Structure 1
């Protein structure tokens, strides 16, 4: 058995014994890396970043003077909160969608945040 066969067997065994969420996170992280995006876990406050991930949740936060739309993006390594100020809804921004986002990373209350990021909704693969 060659080294390729052993690697294939290990990957197959890992898929059989791994948690579905863990496998999904690994696939997301690989897709992000293949696209040239940075891993969220490696990004720091103040950096201009481009990330690729899947939206986990979307919520409208009307507490402030202006409505604020928030979404949690997960790239397989870490979550990032996306915040659009003054927006109640953005067509296509919904849980389960894969997106590429770009902006300057902030940290608020220990959570990574992108305010008013540029975004691109990716087609399902």
Structure 2
């Protein structure tokens, strides 16, 4: 009975948390690119990941100058830090990108310092 399966999927989509739906979508896109999953990465690993920026923050104070971004690939969050930069054109929340670098751990969170990055086209 095909309608039962359709109704089940529709009900799931209507009652599912939007964050879960978004995470699932991002994880599928990341998997399609062949990138590594952030949840599988550990300290010291050289990685290439694909995902979205959730937040971007700049700090212009001399001691802490840099750009920080929260990167999410649908499985885990990785903090990206570009040291010595006041801003980076194109880095904004919601933007998709591919990053490459070595994973470190700082204050219990995964971090990549000065990652190579490739901005992906916008969906708009």
Q: TM-score, normalised by structure 2?
A: 0.88
Alignment RMSD: 1.8
Change (3 A) 1:64 1:109: farther
Q: Mapping of 1:1-125 within 5 angstroms?
A: 1=1, 6=5, 10-63=8-61, 65=63, 67-125=65-123
Q: TM-score, normalised by structure 1?
A: 0.88
Instruction: Report the more deviating stretch, 58-67 or 40-49.
Output: 58-67
Show structure 2 runs of 5+ residues with no match: none
SS at match of 1:49: strand
Change (3 A) 1:117 1:16: same
Show structure 1 runs of 5+ residues with no match: none
Aligned residue pairs, count: 122
Displacement over 2 Å in runs of 4+ = 8-14, 61-66
Residue 14 of structure 1, CA deviation? 2.2
| Partners of 1:52 and 1:12 in 2: CA distance | 28
